[in-house]
Chain A
């Protein structure tokens, strides 16, 4: 399983990267894209939209199924990957490059509660 060690993860298969400016970049894991199969549709949040932790923030749909993408921590959207709705297959090609949105966390410390690569690997094995 492709689970980069430098990222944080959620049980609901999002990856989270802490940027130098303190924002969090969010995508879905390689394991998630593999389960979903070919992705054909992405619905992104609006910039400025605020979410509670584990609230639905985006939707990815494959030929097979629709799946919600959750905000990993509480925060406000500062950026979205605007090219993604035009090419949802980018997620299948490289799930860790094809990010969905960036959040400014309400509490920087919330990041500590996310899973590390080993914990996510164990969770994805189940």
Chain B
């Protein structure tokens, strides 16, 4: 049975083409995913991302639990409101899920986990709490929706729709969050643009969505969300990494803290990561000619074979881009070959970040 966010009818009224994503009936686009992509790069767009699950973690052992659960180190979160991106690993060092941890206050955190993995994640977390005999609880907040408003004009338009948020969020640094009444407003995102991800009561969702619409924010679907995150070089769980892939091989080494103190605790998967150091490079590919790079295509480099994990057409660069796991010695600036429908094409190997803040980095 496909699940629906409370905005499902709203999306349909706006003419959305709906698609199943991680067990959820979500908008793919509202007419043109490329136009929606450009709206986010040039002005502002909004995404219903309520299929992702906010989880409140609280209790005397909440901090200890997250120190052991997450490969990044939640003790980097010094002041309330700071956010941290990281991954939960299994014992073999594979990625159970990637997530954002918000530090709310002493032993109070909020996680945001992926839609398709939410049930698995909650079971995994409950099992770890039981195994470690900790006093903490993970409460999924399905009474909340999440709306991401992204783009150079996103913040201004949110302040138009929600004037009371302006004072509190104007000086909010990237990767922070603050409560404004019932709205939990974070300067996080998945597009490479400025903006907010706003968690609010499901009962307010439609009214707030319509106020954003009136403020001139363009609804955008999962199609644009995918091309935007790919241009920004951000990983997608299930595609760029999963339970069989080490974060070190998925470009996520920067989210793994192997040395920071954790009260003498080790995180799940640490021993596996130490035993199996990085074996692949996670880099970007750029296709000069026509055609579109796709996931699972083979990449032939001077150092052996690799694989595309995500590929698409970049509306900003007007050419195809991809993220790929390549042999370790592969370096930026080299070329490789990819076979598209039996025809070999040449790709350039680049840093896996193509566009940021509306500007091409390539």
B291 engages A92 (CB within 8 Å):
no
A61 engages B223 (CB within 8 Å):
no
Q: Is A63 located at the chain interface by the 8 A CB criterion?
A: yes
A37 engages B341 (CB within 8 Å):
no
Q: Is B227 located at the chain interface by the 8 A CB criterion?
A: yes
Q: Is B168 located at the chain interface by the 8 A CB criterion?
A: no
How long is the Cα–Cα vector from A63 to B32 in the complex, in angstroms? 10
Q: Give the interface size class of chain B.
A: 10 to 19
Per the CB 8 Å criterion, the residue count for chain A at the interface is 14
Closest Cβ of chain A: how far from B191's Cβ, in Å? 15
Q: Is A59 located at the chain interface by the 8 A CB criterion?
A: yes
B313 engages A37 (CB within 8 Å):
no
A38 engages B33 (CB within 8 Å):
yes
A92 engages B32 (CB within 8 Å):
yes
Query: Which B residues are in CB contact (< 8 Å) with A40?
Result: 34, 292, 313
How long is the Cα–Cα vector from A41 to B293 in the complex, in angstroms? 11
Q: Mark A25-52, 1 if CB is under 8 A from B, else 0.
A: 0000000001001101101000000000
Residue of B nearest to A92 (CB): B32
The contact of A64 among B32, B223, B315, B341, by CB within 8 Å, is B223
Most chain B Cβ neighbours within 10 Å, of A34, A64, A85: A64
Query: Which A residues are in CB contact (< 8 Å) with B292?
Result: 40-41, 61, 63, 66
Query: Which B residues are in CB contact (< 8 Å) with A92?
Result: 32
B residues touching A (Cβ–Cβ < 8 Å)? 17, 28-29, 32-34, 223, 227, 290-292, 294, 312-313, 315, 341
With A40-B313, A41-B290, A63-B34 already in contact, 10 other A-B pairs whose C-beta atoms are closer than 8 Å: A37-B29, A38-B34, A40-B292, A43-B291, A61-B313, A63-B33, A63-B312, A63-B315, A64-B223, A89-B34
Q: List 5 A-B contacts (CB under 8 A).
A: A37-B223, A63-B223, A64-B223, A66-B292, A66-B294
